[in-house]
């Protein structure tokens, strides 16, 4: 589960939102949709550690299936 807010590196509150992430995998661009991310008022974006790991796994999954786009799932 993701908390609604978290502290940003700048000290502001960062809110949970769902955004897309563009990843490069083996020279291919893969778009991952609906990635849980945190954004503060200063437009810093951060991801939970497990989210970053999933982004890598999903890029590989999409690549293996020949997809350019994949839906985020935990």
> Which residues are 47's β-sheet partners?
none
If the CB atoms of residues 15 and 60 are measured against Zn ion, the closer one turns out to be 15
Q: Provide the binding-site residues for Zn ion, judged by CB under 5 A.
A: 8, 10, 12, 40, 42, 44
> Which residues are 70's β-sheet partners?
32
Length of the chain: 74
If the CB atoms of residues 12 and 60 are measured against Zn ion, the closer one turns out to be 12
If the CB atoms of residues 8 and 30 are measured against Zn ion, the closer one turns out to be 8
Provide the minimum distance between the beta carbon of 50 and Zn ion in the complex, in angstroms, as a whole number: 21
């Amino acid at each position: 589960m993701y908390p609604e807010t978290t502290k940003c590196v700048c000290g502001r509150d960062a809110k949970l939102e769902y955004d897309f992430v563009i990843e490069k995998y083996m020279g291919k661009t893969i778009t991952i949709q609906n990635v849980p991310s945190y954004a503060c008022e200063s437009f810093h974006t951060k991801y939970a550690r497990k989210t970053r790991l999933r982004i890598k796994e999903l890029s590989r999954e999409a690549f293996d299936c020949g997809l350019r786009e994949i839906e985020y799932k935990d």
